[in-house]
Amino acid sequence: MLAILKTALRAIRRNILRSFLTMLGIIVGIAAVIVGVSMGTGAKAEVDKQIASMGNNLLIVFSGNMSRGGVRGGFGMQPSLTERDYEALRREVSGVVGVSPEVRTTVHVAAGNQNSSVGVWGVSADFAEIRSWRFQSGENFTEVDVRTANKVCVIGKTTAATLFGEGADPVGQIIRIKNAPFTVVGWLAAKGANAFGQDQDDVILMPYTSAMKRLSGDTKFRAFSLATESAEVMGDVTNQIATLLRQLHQITPDKEDDFSIRSQQEMSDFANANNRIMTILIGAFAGISLVVGGIGIMNIMLVSVTERTREIGTRLAVGARARDVLRQFLTEAVLLSVVGGALGIAAGYWLAPLLTKFAGFPTLISNASVVLAFSVSAVIGIVFGFFPALKAANLDPIDALRYE
Amino acid sequence: MPAIIQLEDYCRTYRNGSLEVHAVRGVSLAIHAGEFVAVMGASGSGKSTMMNTIGCLDRPTSGRYLLDGVDVGALNRDELADLRNRKLGFVFQGFNLLARTSALENVELPILYCRPAVPVREQVRRALAALELVGLSDRADHYPNQLSGGQQQRVAIARALVNEPRVLLADEPTGNLDSRTSIEVMGVFQALNDRGITVVMVTHELDIASFAKRKVVMRDGLIRTDEPVSHRLHAPEALAKLEAEQKSVHLD
Ligand SMILES: Nc1ncnc2c1ncn2[C@@H]1O[C@H](COP(=O)(O)OP(=O)(O)OP(=O)(O)O)[C@@H](O)[C@H]1O
Ligand SMILES: [Mg+2]
């Protein structure tokens, strides 16, 4: 075995440039596998982090039927969720630790001589807990604030920075929304961008009663957010909500629901669908490149078999069996592709961080992808090296010895 | 004592499409252990064809070939390879050394295909011993392109000897060598023959054939004459004579 490896190394070194050019296809293909998989893994990790940042065991009830207009199309169309629904959810659904309605409006906000256009979310006191918002300072508004529609709010990191300057604690300050003074009671900790790339920290949360009465004039909600006690009860809670809302909205079995219930998992799957397409495209590119690389190896191995026909004849004459010759050339092909694979992996390790740095793609190289890439390159060597090796092994010793 | 090489009405016909070439047309020949046979004959008379069969690189079209009592015609490819590995040593006209591979590694080559495998230490020991036998132990690390033609052929002989074969086969071993190195190579053959190794070689040159003990002449695929060598040459004397001649040319 050692001798086989030595001969193989010698054959590769003899034509170092040719060997390298042969490996190039494999190098490119394997590098593409590494980078492509790392982009997929990186993007998925990012999405998972963002989805997790939305809260634990989260269910969202959207108004409107999403199976008709797609997820985004259905977002808040024809609001159908009412205060009565909210009260019923709070009262009758079991296995739930928090419920919040949701209205949204975009308003002009001023503080001192700074002003900004910001999205206001009208929610209940449970909302911060349900969506895992932490407070940098101050605290959440209370149930009492909600009941009396007080002019209080909590503001996100980006909004605070715009209105009061980077890092300044806004708690206790007054901001003016539509000329009404609102007291800032809490400063939200940063969350970063969401799965669709929007800044989640440019936000003002306030009691939904205040938002509806004083700002938007809405009477219905676009959504409810609920947190369940555990992941296990999510299915059961979903059924309870659906039954209850159908009853309240008088939806008979022959009619479509005017609401949709989504779990965190479904939202994460949706966000990952885009990544999957990208991964498939890169995978296809890598696959083509690997096949081309494999054909390159086959080609060069055929040349090598021809060049070394006399050597093969000599080996056969001194007692090599067909399988010894086969093993020799197969080893050479596998060595070529595996060295190419190793170089490709190195190139991938080098390229992935560059991609993150210059194109902003999140990348994550997993050990599994390295093992996969390495195995793939070995398999390519075996598959594409087999035919030339077989050709060598089946040479007639006399013809081979006499070959000019 | 049974012959080590026994051909019985051996024929070999090459078939190229519809064309048939009768290269050997019925040869019966027995060579016993310890013989030194030179095969001669015009070009195309079937010498190489017969050597290939004796060397188990090829099988008879008809007739029988027994090597050490074993009918080679009944063996498969792998069994032939094993016979070549254990019982036969080849020396070629073109040396057939592996390029960019040291003399020692070239000599080790047949050991790599031994079954069961030989430990590396033992491999090196045996290869060095074979190089010693042909007087090249000081060139073990040299590559073929750093050796003269005669030295290369001696490396090839060491390679043929390394598995201690019963028979050494050489097809025109001196074809690419000048007269002096040819005599040197014959010296190696005679020394090996004296140690009991059977030697069969093909040659075109009469004086080279005179180093053998028996001379077989072929024509048109048949053996024409088969007789002992009458005035056998001995390498050391031939070499001395040649040197004297060359000296006189220089002095004149
Ligand atoms: N592979 C082959 N296919 C067809 N014919 C062949 C083949 N090998 C040899 N022959 C023919 O068989 C005959 C004997 O060839 P062989 O090589 O045995 O001659 P030879 O005595 O060794 O000649 P030389 O002294 O020139 O080496 C020749 O007529 C040759 O053309
Ligand atoms: Mg010949």
Q: Record the tokens describing residue A240, joined without a space.
A: 């309870």
Q: Tell me the residue type at B66.
A: L
| A30: pLDDT strictly greater than 80 | yes
Give the span between the Cα atoms of A293 and A380, in whole angstroms: 9
pLDDT in tens, A311-346: 999 999 999 999 999 999 999 999 999 999 999 999
Mean pLDDT of chain A: 88
Q: Whose CA is nearest to atom 4 of ligand 1?
A: B14
Residue of chain B minimizing CA distance to A10: B100
What atom of ligand 1 comes closest to residue B12's alpha carbon?
12
Nearest alpha carbon to residue A82 among A106, A96, A56, A101: A101
Higher pLDDT: B2 or A337? It is A337
Q: Whose CA is nearest to atom 2 of ligand 1?
A: B14
Confidence of residue A276 (pLDDT cuts 50, 70, 90): confident
Go through A303-333 and write b for each residue having 16 or more CB atoms within 10 A of its CB, e for each that does not: ebbeebbbbbbbbbbbbbbbebbbbbbbbbb
ipTM: 0.94
Q: Which of A5, A12, A307, A314 to mutate to test the interface with B (most CBs of B within 10 A)?
A: A314
Any chain A CB within 8 A of the CB of B6? no
- The number of distinct structural domains making up chain B is 1
Give the span between the Cα atoms of A75 and A393, in whole angstroms: 67
Ligand 1 midpoint to CA B24 (Å): 9
| B2: pLDDT strictly greater than 50 | yes
Q: Is B164 left (phi over 0), alpha (psi -120 to 50) or beta?
A: left
Lowest mean pLDDT among A60-64, A349-353, B58-62, B147-151: A60-64
pLDDT in tens, B30-67: 999 999 999 999 999 999 999 999 999 999 999 999 99
Give the span between the Cα atoms of A48 and A51, in whole angstroms: 5
SS3 A1: coil
Nearest alpha carbon to residue A4 among A335, A238, A397: A335
Give the span between the Cα atoms of B112 and A2, in whole angstroms: 10
Q: How many residues does chain B have?
A: 252
* B58-83: average pLDDT: 94
Residues whose CB is less than 8 angstroms from the CB of residue A20 and which lie 6 or more positions away in sequence, other chains included: none
Instruction: Give the model's pLDDT for residue A72.
Output: 44
Instruction: Give the model's pLDDT for residue B187.
Output: 94
A68 alpha-carbon distance from chain centroid: 25
Ligand 1 midpoint to CA B15 (Å): 12
- Phi then psi dihedrals of residue A154, to 5 deg: -120, 145
Q: Whose CA is nearest to atom 20 of ligand 1?
A: B44
pLDDT in tens, A70-90: 444 444 456 788 889 999 999
* A106-134: average pLDDT: 89
Any chain A CB within 8 A of the CB of B221? no
* A17-24: average pLDDT: 92
Lowest mean pLDDT among A35-39, A196-200, A256-260, B103-107: A196-200
Instruction: Give the model's pLDDT for residue B207.
Output: 92
Give the span between the Cα atoms of A108 and A101, in whole angstroms: 23
A240 close to A94: Cβ distance less than 8 angstroms: yes
Residue of chain A minimizing CA distance to B99: A311
| B142: pLDDT strictly greater than 50 | yes
Q: Which of A2, A10, A318 to mutate to test the interface with B (most CBs of B within 10 A)?
A: A318
Task: State the residue range of the domain holding B199.
Answer: 5-251
Mean pLDDT of chain B: 93
Q: What angle do CA A381, A384, A385 make, to 5 degrees?
A: 65
Give the span between the Cα atoms of A185 and B61, in whole angstroms: 105
* B87-110: average pLDDT: 93
* A156-168: average pLDDT: 89
Cβ separation of A14 and B92 shorter than 8 Å?
Answer: no
Instruction: Give the model's pLDDT for residue A67.
Output: 63
CATH number reported for the structural domain that contains residue B231 in this entry: 3.40.50.300
Residue of chain A minimizing CA distance to B59: A398
Any chain B CB within 8 A of the CB of A14? yes
Which chain B residues contact residue A5 at CB under 8 A? none
Q: In angstroms, what separates the C-alpha of B43 from chain A's closest C-alpha?
A: 16
Q: Record the tokens describing residue A118, joined without a space.
A: 């910001």
| A17: pLDDT strictly greater than 70 | yes
Cis before residue A353, ω within 30 degrees of 0? no
Ligand 2 midpoint to CA B27 (Å): 17
Nearest alpha carbon to residue A93 among A276, A244, A263, A229: A244
Looking at mean pLDDT, say which of A36-50, A271-285, B17-31 comes out highest: B17-31
Helix runs in A148-263, H state only: 157-164, 208-210, 234-248
Residue of chain A minimizing CA distance to B85: A319
What atom of ligand 1 comes closest to residue A399's alpha carbon?
1
Is pTM beyond 0.90? Reply is no
Any chain A CB within 8 A of the CB of B163? yes
